[in-house]
Amino acid sequence: MNIILSTFILALVMALVIGFLLAVFKQLFHVEVNPTEAKVREALPGANCGACGYPGCDGLAAAIAAGNAPVNACPVGGPAVAKKVGDIMGVSASAETKVALLLCQGTKELSPAKAEYNGVKTCRAAKLSINGLKLCDYGCIGFGDCVSACMFDALSMGEDGLPHVDYAKCVGCGKCASECPQKIFAMTPSDRKGAVALCSNRNPKKAQVLKDCKVGCIKCGKCEKVCPKSCIKVTNGIPVVDYAVCDSCGECVKNCPTKVLSLLENKIGAV
């Protein structure tokens, strides 16, 4: 009984001593928090996704308060958070909302596998070992590294072997784009309208492109010829659109022989 009582008293004394020492150390090493930084941190969404380029929301709040980052640096928070932070910092804020767009239509049926793969089931591993699974070396590999990277449940792998974006949930953090070894995600303004090429195959050989993927760009240049605004040009093997000029007439979309082109407003629901 005495041993139990002695042990309890000793533990109590040690707890009091440790508590006292912790209180002393807290005072000795206390760092004053910038009140502006604290307000900015409270206004940020707390996702800690790193999409802003800083180590979480604490890092971004410190950078904004110090004047080293713009008030609209948080892509997750969008215009609403940018306005709150702007009000705190006393500056006007404007934020462009972006969403992820997959620049590939090469489903399992349209872009067959080049061989059986028995390695680690990640896109990055397949890219490093055999340069992807499909005949098209530029297309989606299909193991869903992007889905695993998405913190907002905005991506899911479809039965067609491609990731699908839920634009009601996508916040434009860019994690999928940075994680994809094929670099086939584009971060696109959510209100953008106009044509876009849903292909990343830059192979200049038409026959090889068609062999690799039935919906690949064959570099025929027909989109350039039919565009009444002359705002589309095949650059480095892919049609590139000048959105300052494009009026979504859809002529390039209708005339593309392999259906590579689509209107952004139909893909991401731009308004």
pLDDT digits (tens, 9 = 90+) for 4-63: 778 878 888 888 889 888 888 777 776 666 889 889 999 999 888 888 888 889 999 999
Angstrom distance (rounded) from CA 156 to CA 139: 17
Copy the structure tokens of residue 104: 């590939």
Residue with tokens 């006007």: 92
pLDDT at 271 (0 to 100):
37
pLDDT at 263 (0 to 100):
97
Beta carbons within 8 Å of 35's beta carbon, 6+ residues apart: none
Count of beta carbons in the 10 Å neighbourhood of residue 211: 15
Q: What is the DSSP letter of 233?
A: E
Angstrom distance (rounded) from CA 74 to CA 72: 6
Nearest to 44 by CA among 60, 65, 63: 60
Q: Could you list the beta-strand ranges (E) of the chain.
A: 98-102, 155-157, 163-165, 185-189, 195-197, 232-235, 238-241, 261-263
Domain 97-187 architecture: 2-Layer Sandwich (3.30)
pLDDT at 53 (0 to 100):
84
pLDDT at 32 (0 to 100):
66
Beta carbons within 8 Å of 248's beta carbon, 6+ residues apart: 193, 194, 195, 263, 265
Q: Which residues of the chain fall short of a pLDDT of 50? A: 270-271
SS3 content of the chain, % helix, strand, coil (to 5): 35, 10, 50
Domain 191-271 architecture: 2-Layer Sandwich (3.30)
pLDDT at 199 (0 to 100):
96
The whole-model pTM stands at 0.77
Q: CATH 3.30.70.20 occupies which residues in the chain?
A: 97-187, 191-271
pLDDT at 197 (0 to 100):
97
Angstrom distance (rounded) from CA 192 to CA 27: 53
Q: CATH 1.10.15.40 occupies which residues in the chain?
A: 36-89
Backbone angles phi, psi at 100, to 5 degrees: -85, 140
pLDDT at 143 (0 to 100):
96
Angstrom distance (rounded) from CA 247 to CA 194: 6
Maximum separation of any 2 CA atoms in the chain, in Å:
97
pLDDT at 120 (0 to 100):
94
Amino acid at 184: I
User: Topology of domain 36-89, per CATH?
Assistant: 3-methyladenine DNA Glycosylase II; Chain A, domain 3 (1.10.15)
